[in-house]
């Protein structure tokens, strides 16, 4: 990190107009290309995600605007969707596929990211419509065929469509600048930011040779932007140099396309020769652990890619996979035991509550039955007492005797129809009343009444 900081500070000494330049980027919009958007979405690894986030925060803190063109979003969605189709295939390769496998993402995850791309990007980055071809801006159009030739000399594109998108991006910057020839980034109005230094160089060479633009190029690298932004406010982003180093190191550890092609060819030959099994061949082609181990063992050198190094890597990873499978199995079993234990405890707890409710209700119902029996007995005795003794008509509480007589009559009728006797009340009422109390309590607690 100290080396990177020193490099950034050295640029301050070599830059002639740094002191006179503005302290903000309020007059410029930085357009990110597709690979930088991939970094922003975390599809090129956590280190590069952290670095690009720090850069965006710093630029925006300096009042700069961070954006991308609508055609760049289309390019991203297409790239992620195509990668999703190959994530489960041994033929799948490329940064998106490798990082998705490393992060444990599957096809559905990538498809979802592609569908929600606009929403995810617009969280921090504005999406600007690509400038259309118009007669009034025709004078600012570039020679696309000429620029294509310049790109061809600098970059070996595996996908011709990527070249077309790059041309469209540079052409859009020229349209937005509308003939402006800025002498500083702060006055450049629009700049395309890329992680590809060859692309940046090609755009600069084209501008110098064909557009009489020898000042600020239409394309700069993300490191150049990080450098100039950090020099404006080093205390505003003290961790930026460290994150740039980590991102660079992370990218450096990623296998190159040439190395990966050599690995695939080696795997094919070893399987044909019977030196590795079909399963081993599958691991070499699709397991990121094998790829990481092989990269570490050979340091990305094709010469070190021998039968011995491949076999050694496969055996080591296979042993680790077996150990992981055993550990996962034990972990799952432990989780199941824990769940069963929790379920047993919960069941016993519910049963304990139900038991308490039942016996509490039983006590209440029996107590009520006794009271009811006593009341019936009292009424019957009172009626019998009235029948034996002659009570004066002027008896003060005569109305009590009338009520008691009426109640006795009702009880006799009910007794005849329902066999209502004191002994029956003591037997039947408690169970009926208990069930009523239990049902009410169960409903209040959300229990099922059986």
Measured at the CA of 230, the angle between CA 228 and CA 234, to 5 degrees, comes to 145
* Helix, strand, coil percentages, rounded to 5, for the chain: 70, 5, 25
**Residue 237 pLDDT exceeds 60:** no
Q: What mean pLDDT comes out for the span 22-30?
A: 86
Where residue 387 falls among pLDDT bands split at 50, 70, 90?
low
Q: Residue ranges of the domains in the chain?
A: 2-252, 257-305, 322-445
pLDDT tens sequence across 251-268: 555 666 666 667 677 777
DSSP state of 304: G
Annotate 312-346 with b (16+ C-beta within 10 A) or e (fewer): ebbeebbeeeeeeeeeeeeeeeeeeeeeeeeeeee
Is 0.75 surpassed by the pTM of this model? no
Q: Is residue 423's pLDDT more than 80?
A: no
Query: At residue 42, does pLDDT exceed 80?
Result: yes
Please, what is the average pLDDT of the chain? 76
Q: Tell me, what's the pLDDT at 129?
A: 95
pLDDT attached to residue 11: 46
pLDDT digits (tens, 9 = 90+) for 319-364: 665 555 555 665 666 677 688 777 778 877 877 787 788 788 878 8
What is the pLDDT at residue 392? 52
Condensed to tens digits (0 to 9), the pLDDT of residues 65-101 reads: 999 999 999 999 999 999 898 887 766 777 888 888 8
Q: How confident is the model at residue 9 (pLDDT cuts 50, 70, 90)?
A: very low
Helices (H), 127-193: 144-154, 160-177
Q: Which residues pair with 191 in a beta bridge?
A: 30
The closest alpha carbon to 226, from 30, 94, 47, belongs to: 30
Task: Decide if pLDDT at 275 tops 70.
Answer: yes
């Amino acid at each position: 990190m100290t080396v990177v900081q020193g490099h950034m500070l050295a640029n301050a000494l070599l830059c002639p107009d740094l002191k006179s330049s503005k302290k903000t980027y309020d007059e410029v919009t930085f357009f990110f290309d597709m690979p930088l958007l991939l970094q922003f979405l975390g599809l090129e690894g956590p280190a590069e995600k952290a670095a690009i986030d720090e850069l965006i925060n710093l630029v925006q803190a300096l009042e700069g605007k961070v954006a991308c063109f609508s055609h760049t979003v289309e390019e991203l969605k297409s790239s992620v969707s195509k990668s999703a189709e190959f994530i489960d295939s041994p033929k799948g390769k490329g940064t998106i596929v490798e990082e998705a496998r490393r992060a444990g993402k599957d096809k559905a995850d990538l498809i979802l990211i592609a569908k929600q791309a606009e929403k995810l990007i617009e969280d921090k980055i504005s999406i600007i419509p690509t400038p259309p071809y118009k007669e009034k801006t025709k004078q600012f159009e570039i020679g696309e065929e000429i620029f294509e030739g310049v790109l061809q000399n600098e970059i070996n594109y595996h996908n011709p469509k990527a070249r077309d998108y790059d041309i469209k991006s540079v052409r859009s910057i020229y349209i937005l600048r509308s003939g402006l020839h800025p002498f500083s980034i702060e006055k450049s109005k629009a700049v395309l930011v890329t992680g590809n230094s060859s692309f940046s160089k090609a755009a600069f060479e084209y501008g110098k040779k064909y557009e009489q633009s020898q000042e600020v190029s239409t394309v700069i690298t993300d490191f150049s932007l990080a450098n100039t932004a950090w020099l404006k406010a080093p205390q505003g982003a003290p961790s930026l140099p460290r994150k740039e180093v980590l991102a660079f190191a992370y990218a450096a550890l990623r296998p190159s396309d040439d190395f990966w092609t050599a690995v695939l060819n080696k795997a094919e030959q070893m399987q044909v020769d019977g030196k590795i099994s079909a399963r081993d061949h599958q691991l070499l082609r699709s397991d990121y652990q094998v790829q990481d181990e092989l990269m570490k063992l050979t340091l990305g050198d094709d010469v070190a890619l021998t039968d011995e190094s491949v076999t050694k890597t496969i055996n080591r990873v296979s042993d680790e996979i077996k150990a992981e499978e055993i550990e996962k199995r034990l972990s799952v079993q432990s989780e199941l035991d824990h769940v069963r234990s929790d379920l047993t405890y919960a069941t016993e707890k519910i049963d304990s509550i139900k038991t308490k409710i039942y016996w509490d209700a039983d006590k209440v119902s029996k107590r009520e039955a006794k009271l009811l029996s006593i009341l019936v007995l009292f009424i019957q005795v009172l009626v019998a007492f009235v029948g034996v003794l002659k009570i004066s008509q002027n008896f003060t509480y005569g109305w009590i005797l009338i009520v008691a007589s009426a109640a006795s009559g009702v009880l006799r009728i009910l007794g005849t129809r329902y066999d209502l006797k004191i002994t029956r009340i003591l037997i039947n009422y408690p169970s009926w009343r208990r069930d009523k109390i239990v049902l009410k309590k169960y409903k209040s607690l959300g229990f099922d009444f059986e």
